[in-house]
Chain A
Amino acid sequence: MFDYYLRLALRRCRQNVPMVLLLVLTMAIGIAACMTAMTIFRALSGAPLPGVSPYLYVATMDAREEVDKDNPDYKQPDSLLKLVDARVLVDAHRAVQQVAVAQSLTLLGDMDGRKSEQAYGLMAYGLAVQALGVPLRYGRPWTEAELAANAPVLVIDTHVAQKLFGTEDAVGRSVMLGQRSFRVIGVSGEWKPRVQIFNLAENAGSVMGQEENFFVPAQAALDAGVGPLIAGECGKGAPVVSFQSAAVAQCRWMETWVRLDTPSQLADYGRFLAGYADAQHDAGRFAYPPQAKLYGTQAWMTLNRVVPDDVHLNLMLAGAFLLLCLVNVAGLLAARFLRRQGDVAIRRALGASRRDVFVQHLVETGLLGLIGGALALPLTWLGLWIVRMQPVSYAEAARFSPGVFVILFALSVGVGLLVGILPAWRVCRQPPALQIKIA
């Protein structure tokens, strides 16, 4: 029966090509607009570190040690801590995993000083490789003992290893970082959060994540004269921010991320964090009530508006547009079907049930939906290409992916059926006798 309906539908499509073209194009434009906006939205709003970030929480508290008359009521939760505080939180081992990190941009060189590479990396206190789920290709991550001893060890990624040593397996080699030589103990694969998650206060406006080329214990790096790229919040009278400075003892520059797997762990850690922060306030160190709070990665990104408003607005605009296209096509389809009431009446009189008529028309609209989807595919591709050409911070996210293809397919069939329900129901509702009379 199904293939008979399909043949019937194809035959009918050929009868009035301009009308069919109009229907299909309207659907295609609606679907393509929606797909383009959705692709970008999905790329930006998914987990920044799949499999890891859903369990990661960032510790925030008002850790200011001086009264600040410009911002007395702590408008925005603050994730930056001094290294001393981050150390306490990490060393307490109250979470499944914990690490304090800060972004660094510095020169990595080989020992001869012949090859060097400017690289972004993370300075970390804690077992960064494990906590952040960095994939290791060779070697091993640093140990608690090495961390405690401020051992000059580091993990570089394959890109830097290739650049400096001409081989990916650079374990055991030495790298010049600042004024000291560091031993490479591990080589990581490419690691990059899909979206910016670190130090959002000072990364406002940057949407896409930073690829990290090396990971180094923070204190060892500071000892070698390498500091974070940006250190802000160094107290009154200090510069607003300073760059690449290793003199950061008075600054809040590290973010503490913890891994918590269950709600009870989350609640326990929340209490521990609040207890620590309140104790610092009671001891007179923190100037304000700390209001310590944990934020999940997604909540933290939402709070800091990492995904630009325009992405949300465009998605809504595209959704509303698709809705308009649906109503439009439903109307045109109803007109198209009702014009053929005579055919339907004869089928009904010959014994077709209402269900048969309904299904027949749904098959036809489903087919139109599929054709619309097929047309939407190049249109979506074109839309994404146009977005990539735009001077927007998230242009890189506008890439076609297989997942998008599946959604597109489902969406087009769904759209086809959805717009067909009302007209098909309308056409099968009338009793055959009346329809024949009209005919």
Chain B
Amino acid sequence: MRHIIKPLFRHRMMPLLVLLQVALACAIACNALFLLQQKLVPIVSPDGVGNPDRLIVAWNIAPRGQPWPTSRLDQVAAELRAIPGVGSVSVAGSFPMETVAQMNGGVYGEGAHPAKADTAVYIGTHLRDTLGLKLVAGRDFSAAEEGVSYKGMGLDENGPAIITRALAERLFPGGDALGHVLRLGDAADAGRRTVVGVVEHLMRNKFGQDDREDIDYSMLFPSIPTNWPMPIFALRARSAAEVDGVLKAAKATLKRELGPEMIQGIDPAYEMYGDMRERQMAQPKAAVWLLSGVSLIVLLVTVVGIMGLTSYWVQQRTRQIGIRRALGARRGNILRDVQLENLLVVGGGILLGMALAYAINLWLMHHYELARLPWTYLPYGAALMLLLGQLAVLSPALRAARVPPVVATRSV
């Protein structure tokens, strides 16, 4: 061991440069891969919506002046429902994959120390049906519940709620959520909602730093929010063949009914839900490409760097290696020595790099909305870097092992 460590301290520059490179690469790659993983979450998570190719969404619809009364919206929904080929129609205040209007807030479970979850709320009529959500427990809202009229948006008011399974497990751990009551905020007079149904998945429409669970924290309230200025209409066609016809008829109906009262200069949007999802996911997808490209180049540059430095380092010591060979060292000994030396230097770099990665993450957490780097990243990162280090050193090490003992007798 001594004959490996000692030269490292005598000729400090080369090992130090390798160490520094590994440390930097480690710090960058860990943070970049962590960011990448977070951007991947909405892309790979299920949104719960069934048959997205049959769901038509009309949004960016706003009235000039006062919001439309809910009775008027109900009446328009009835017109839409009469279109041939329509299975279900919703009027909602906010909608999955539509980020202009968001209803979010802290929701609490029961007990003295209730669990809390940052949750998206979708308030609208027949949303479970229109979104095609899979009910795993309980029931859908009843006709009476759908017909209730709120004083305000509905966020402060009591009533029923359908929540996702992830949210149910978060708020009411280890048990059946049905029949339990959740609180909409921490105020004493906050609205209370009784869970009547649990759906498999439903993605929230606020995207930030998510992980697999909290992106699935959503719930549904029945009926239409009162005084809400940007209603969203959603129509589910009975079959894929009828989508085009339904879309055309829906456009015509909304234009006829609400067109004259809409704000000027901003056009309503009619989109298939699948396209909305595509559009919403385009940005994280681009970020994923960018971050994976950066990580790859970082690792590549490091490998090339280690390779270049080690091959010089080996060439520099050709004579010493020759002497060792002449004194009886085998090729395997030389190979192992070079690899062990690399292991030590890269290992040192990794230790420094991990500390650096963590420090950078802490600093980023302080200044930006970023989650904590999970420590599980560190061993994986370390293993990857060690492997890459060994790979980079392989060719110079083999060259070193091939040095013939006779070199020792030559003065170079």
Residues of A that sit less than 8 Å from B by CB: 22, 26, 29, 33, 69-70, 105-107, 118, 205, 229, 237-247, 309-310, 312-314, 317, 320-321, 323-325, 327-328, 330-332, 334-335, 338-339, 390-392, 422, 426
Contacts and interface: CB of A to CB of B under 8 A. Distances in A.
Contacts of B18: 331
Contact of B229 (A33, A105, A106, A242): A242
Contacts of B279: 391
B27 A243 contact: no
B366 to A, nearest CB: 13
Given A309-B369, A310-B287, A320-B27, A327 B65 contact: no
A332 B309 contact: yes
Contacts, number: 128
A332 B307 CA distance: 9
Contact of A107 (B21, B264, B301, B316): B264
B229 A243 contact: yes
11 contacts: A33-B294, A69-B187, A70-B185, A239-B66, A245-B65, A245-B66, A317-B28, A320-B27, A320-B28, A331-B14, A335-B313
A244 B17 contact: no
Interface residues on B, range: 35 or more
B265 A107 contact: yes
A244 B263 contact: yes
Main secondary structure of the interface of B (DSSP, over half): helix
B298 A240 contact: no
A317 B32 contact: yes
B294 A321 contact: yes
A327 B20 contact: yes
A244 B308 contact: no
B13 A334 contact: yes
B124 to A, nearest CB: 16
B63 interface: yes
A321 B65 contact: no
B308 A331 contact: yes
B309 A331 contact: yes
Q: Which 6 A-B pairs have the closest CB atoms?
A: A335-B312, A331-B17, A328-B305, A391-B282, A118-B265, A245-B65
Contact of A321 (B28, B67, B187, B287): B28
A238 B228 CA distance: 10
Query: Which residue, of A26, A327, A339, has the highest number of chain B Cβ atoms within 10 A?
Result: A327
B227 interface: yes
B189 A69 contact: yes
B266 interface: yes
A92 B153 CA distance: 39
A242 B13 CA distance: 67
B35 A313 contact: yes
Given A243-B65, A245-B64, A327-B20, A321 B298 contact: yes
B199 interface: no
B195 interface: no
B14 A334 contact: yes
A185 to B, nearest CB: 24
A320 B99 CA distance: 33
Given A320-B24, A321-B298, A391-B279, A240 B368 contact: no
A118 B264 contact: yes
Given A22-B304, A245-B65, A334-B17, 11 more contacts: A26-B304, A69-B187, A105-B265, A107-B265, A240-B227, A243-B63, A243-B64, A309-B370, A313-B364, A331-B21, A391-B282
Contacts of A317: 28, 31-32, 294
B297 interface: yes
A239 B228 contact: yes
A243 B230 CA distance: 10
Contact of B286 (A22, A242, A390): A390
A246 B263 CA distance: 13
A29 B368 contact: no
Contacts of B294: 33, 317, 321
A332 B283 CA distance: 37
Contacts of A332: 305, 308-309
Contacts of B28: 317, 320-321, 324
B286 A392 contact: yes
Contacts of B282: 391
B302 interface: yes
B229 A390 contact: no
Contacts of B338: none
A235 B311 CA distance: 73
Given A320-B24, A321-B28, A327-B20, A240 B283 contact: no
A107 B67 CA distance: 21
A106 B264 contact: yes
B65 A328 contact: no
A352 B25 CA distance: 39
A321 B18 CA distance: 15
A243 B309 contact: no
Interface string B31-65: 11001000000000000000000000000001111
A160 B286 CA distance: 37
A205 B264 CA distance: 22
B398 to A, nearest CB: 18
A332 B14 CA distance: 10
A71 to B, nearest CB: 11
A121 to B, nearest CB: 11
Nearest to A331: B17
Nearest to A390: B286
A328 B18 CA distance: 8
Contacts of A29: 297, 301
A328 B229 contact: no
Contacts of A244: 64-65, 263-264
A26 B300 CA distance: 10
Contacts of B369: 309
A391 B65 contact: no
Contacts of A327: 17, 20-21, 24, 305
A240 B297 contact: no
B67 A26 contact: no
A323 B20 CA distance: 10
Contacts of A229: 263
A323 B32 CA distance: 15
Of A29, A242, A324, A426, most B-chain CB atoms within 10 Å: A324
Interface string B259-292: 0000111100000000000010011001100100
A324 B25 contact: yes
Contacts of B20: 327
Given A317-B28, A426-B13, A26 B301 contact: yes
